Amino acid sequence: MARMYKSRKGKSGSSRPNVSEAPAWSNTDKDAVQSLILEMAKSGLSSAEIGTVLRDKHAVPNVRLVLGKRISQVLAENDMTGAYPEDLMNLMRQAVGIINHLGSGNHKDIHNKRALEITEAKIRRLSNYYKGEGRLPADWRYKRDELRLMVE
């Protein structure tokens, strides 16, 4: 979301190759990959961290090519997802960090006040999306006072 709040064009990145099946060198054992995902989720890793570990240590470059579904779908089928979606929770943790910074004697830090406003705007926009998708209750509201309770 860099372009919404900056005058620059944003950060470019590489795109994933367009392939429909897993490479020959990769681990394609469905049961092993699924058990690895569930084991890592029990140890407290997020779906993004699980994907990185599978890529780097277990030769699974893309879980969707092996299982036919995303890591978050595997976790949802086994009731291992959190109360809030992962990206929304990451933004709320970021907001808590900024609030802690501003509250600990840095109340004149105007740059982080602006960063908090931007982060809260992202949270509100994302929550509207998840309300429409049905992943958040329709009456859910972002409240800065209750934020610390939601994150912990």
* pLDDT tens column, 7-66: 777 767 788 788 888 888 998 899 999 999 999 999 999 999 999 999 999 999 999 999
pLDDT of residue 1: 47
99 touches 117 (CB < 8 A): no
Average pLDDT over residues 133-152: 89
Query: Whole-angstrom Cα distance, residue 29 to residue 78?
Result: 19
pLDDT of residue 2: 55
Query: Whole-angstrom Cα distance, residue 26 to residue 64?
Result: 13
The CATH code of domain 86-151 reads: 1.10.287.10
* pLDDT tens column, 31-43: 999 999 999 999 9
pLDDT of residue 3: 67
Q: Is the pLDDT of residue 94 over 70?
A: yes
pLDDT of residue 57: 94
Q: pTM to 2 decimals?
A: 0.81
Query: Nearest CA to 140 among 99, 90, 84?
Result: 84
Query: Residue ranges per domain, the chain?
Result: 30-77, 86-151
Computed over every residue of the chain, the mean pLDDT equals 90
Cα–Cα distances in Å, from 133 out to 29, 71, 136, 140? 32, 19, 8, 13
